[in-house]
A and B are shown apart, each in its own frame.
Chain A
């Protein structure tokens, strides 16, 4: 009994020095040669297990989503009393959305403003990310979202540069993962299936898929589904069903008026312009950001270089993917 208690103490002492002080197994065994045979396999197992446990990391997407919800809840609680004034008997979903908007854009404006310049190692950085998520949630068109992601991508590169100067490789990696996510989103959102400059498809692609895909399930319904339910039947299905028997009326119903055609044409033109502008922005960003990160590689501390190299790779492949999706030939 006493012997086993003694061994438990020795094992824990070794583990403590291995896990927290970076000692090696050999060093532990040298300290306790009498127990070396028994200790060695257990320390090997513990070390291998600990290594794997440390590798269990939440995904960046989940991390951002969780932060967003946590900070929303934090701010919502803070303003609970004042919000009671606005209890108009709405659905809780809508109330939450409105509360978040109020909190982030009005009541919590000072915090959000203070957070806007924060960097990944700053305590207010999650507020910055949460504010961005709200902006994205309230941007309904695919193109609009792609434009916003392009702006955010630029911010992430600024942050990577800052983190490189502070020699924080872990933050560089995390931020590069976010950059990768954004550039992938731009590629998806600006793909031809997602954003078609044609007239007939315009309303559908503008409003439905991007918002649904973009938002977490908890966030999505209030924003995304309400307009969908209202618009889909009213614009397309109802007239078709009602007027189907009258053969001569059908073609009239399907032909848009001259004014409508002109309006749709203008909208399509505007969208083409915006796509071209987005393409130009991304081209500039691709060049400038990659060049900038490459330049940093020369001056960055050695320990930050591997993470920086990954970020350069993300920037190169990500922008290429996004530009390809916009129809830009390599």
Chain B
């Protein structure tokens, strides 16, 4: 993408082309980020739309002081998610059932089976808030560890540790789900 900083400067002056480029660049990623965070693709649609409308309204207040535009935009998306969860009180962190998540499960099974989107969305809901944030920003937001660290206000080491624990937890949840499937069959 063209130098993001200059695009943002132009967008602040209501330059439509610059805004269009930023919008196209981030639209899908913000949508995926929200869908992964709330585990609901339909609700993610309205919220994504709102993120960009909010960004549009407050772009003039954005100042490029070492904080990338993406961090600012994901912060808006994060606030939107928090607001949504507060209103709906829908999501309650569900701890992973360690007893069911057997590491003896066939490790090939999960790699071989095609992981379903709904399974993944459901599995991410079992992560802690911080783990989910890292996974959403890394995978859906396609951001580097350094960028994630900036957005979350944590050190890169802390984000890497969260990333590790999140993948371990995801694997356990998904394997537990696979075990259930096998038992049902």
- Alpha-carbon distance A55/B145, docked complex (angstroms): 22
Shortest C-beta distance, B83 to chain A (Å), equals 19
Shortest C-beta distance, B104 to chain A (Å), equals 12
Can you sample 7 A-B contacts with CB below 8 Å?
A16-B144, A45-B167, A45-B170, A48-B111, A57-B31, A66-B48, A77-B14
**Chain B residues, CB < 8 A from A42:** 164, 167-168, 171
B139 at the interface (CB under 8 A from A): yes
Cβ-defined contact, B160 with A9, below 8 A: yes
Choose the segment among A93-101, A123-131, A232-240, A310-318 that binds chain B (4+ C-beta atoms closer than 8 Å).
A123-131
Shortest C-beta distance, B112 to chain A (Å), equals 10
Cβ-defined contact, A70 with B160, below 8 A: no
A7 at the interface (CB under 8 A from B): yes
Cβ-defined contact, A66 with B27, below 8 A: yes
Cβ-defined contact, B27 with A7, below 8 A: no
Within 8 A of B (CB), among A55-105: 55-59, 62-63, 65-67, 69-71, 73-75, 77-78
- Alpha-carbon distance A44/B108, docked complex (angstroms): 9
Q: Which of A4, A40, A127 is close to B16, meaning CB atoms less than 8 Å apart?
A: A127
What total of A-B pairs shows CB separation below 8 Å?
124
Q: Is the interface of A mostly helix, strand, loop or mixed?
A: helix
By beta carbon, the residue of chain A nearest B162 is A8
A113 at the interface (CB under 8 A from B): no
**Chain B residues, CB < 8 A from A123:** 17, 20-21, 24
**Residues of chain A whose beta carbon lies under 8 Å from any beta carbon of chain B:** 4-5, 7-9, 11-12, 15-16, 19, 40-42, 44-46, 48-59, 62-63, 65-67, 69-71, 73-75, 77-78, 111, 123-124, 126-127
**Chain A residues, CB < 8 A from B160:** 5, 8-9, 11-12
Shortest C-beta distance, B5 to chain A (Å), equals 17
Q: Which of B45, B56, B107 is close to A62, meaning CB atoms less than 8 Å apart?
A: B45
**Residues of chain B whose beta carbon lies under 8 Å from any beta carbon of chain A:** 14, 16-17, 19-21, 23-24, 27-28, 31-32, 35-36, 41, 45, 48-49, 52-53, 56-57, 107, 110-111, 115-117, 120, 135, 138-140, 142, 144-145, 157, 160-161, 163-164, 167-168, 170-171, 174
**Chain A residues, CB < 8 A from B174:** 45
Cβ-defined contact, B56 with A77, below 8 A: yes
**Chain B residues, CB < 8 A from A41:** 107, 171
- Alpha-carbon distance A11/B164, docked complex (angstroms): 7
Cβ-defined contact, B171 with A57, below 8 A: no
**Chain B residues, CB < 8 A from A126:** 20, 23-24
Q: A45-B174, A52-B120 are in contact. Are A124 and B17 (CB under 8 A)?
A: yes
- Alpha-carbon distance A8/B164, docked complex (angstroms): 6
Q: Which of A15, A44, A74 is close to B14, meaning CB atoms less than 8 Å apart?
A: A74
By beta carbon, the residue of chain A nearest B18 is A123
